[in-house]
Amino acid sequence: MSKSVEYREYTISSTPLQLSGKDEWRSKIKVSSEREGIVAAEPYTDDTIHATEEAADTHGIKLGQALIDGKSPELSED
């Protein structure tokens, strides 16, 4: 499951990562924006473990929104 949402002139793309050999998931997102025809994007991952892909997806989108809002969740920049 992957999803993308538009938020405050940014696009948050979520592609959860399944942990190897497990039914557990981590959030992985890319936050991108376009200005004057130039696209800038930054990927991020979160160490929180989720039981479902959907939960990791939802969590990733919320983390992207927090980043855009200037809050500083603990994420790894890929």
Instruction: List, as one string, the DSSP characters of 16-50.
Output: -EEPTTSS-EEEEEEEEEEETTEEEEEEEEEEEEE
| pTM value > 0.85 | no
Task: Give the structural domain span for 18.
Answer: 3-77
Model pLDDT, residue 24:
96
Residues 10-50 have pLDDT tens digits of: 999 999 999 998 999 999 999 999 988 898 999 998 889 99
Number of domains the chain contains: 1
Model pLDDT, residue 73:
64
Distance of alpha carbon 16 from alpha carbon 53, whole angstroms:
6
How many CA atoms does the CB half-sphere of 61 hold within 13 Å?
14
Residues 1-18 have pLDDT tens digits of: 689 999 999 999 999 999
Helix (H) or strand (E) holding 63: helix 53-68
Which domain CATH number covers 62?
3.30.160.350
